[in-house]
Amino acid sequence: MRALGIDPGTATMGWGVVERDGNALRLVDVGALTTPAGMPQPERLLQLYNGLRAIIERLQPDTAAVEELFFGKNVNTALTVGQARGVALLALAQAGIPVCEYKPTAVKQAVAGYGGADKRQMQEMVRLTLGLAMVPRPDDAADALAIAICHVYTAPTLQRFDVS
């Protein structure tokens, strides 16, 4: 299974691809799509869409996972993140890639074993799980890898119960 994880955002959209190799996970590639501050929102969304389509075409994931929207206090941030999520979901649907969505606490539980794990703990677990020398940067890329890892761990159970 080759899984693409996406941490949505309009300034920075983290992405990471992992592949299950027997019982081990292997990093395929990781990065972040960025858009310049001050760029009009429609152009930012188009740039993210085009970048994500190129990643999908190049890396050919079998499945994908996107982090669900976490509603914080800043409504404007929630709206722009929601728009970035929409762009990611559209690009994945157009490519015919099945998508699952995970709450941040579910990702933390799957990767670190604790739904209240902090960012540093999560990054270290991503590093250890994938056997990396360093934590991937930027943080959004490491978060995307955590989402992909969660999906690889969770997808077989979802398939058994047809809950996807």
Q: If phi over 0 gives left and psi between -120 and 50 gives alpha, with beta otherwise, what is residue 53? A: alpha
pLDDT score, position 163: 52
pTM over 0.85: yes
CB 125 within 8 A of CB 148: no
Q: Summarize pLDDT for 40-49 with one digit per residue, the tens.
A: 999 999 999 9
Going from the N-terminus, what domains does the chain have, and what CATH number goes with each?
Answer: 2-161 (3.30.420.10)
> Active-site residues: which are they?
7, 67, 140
Q: 70: pLDDT confidence band, cut at 50, 70 and 90?
A: low
The 10s digit of each residue's pLDDT in 2-27 is: 999 999 999 999 999 999 988 889 99
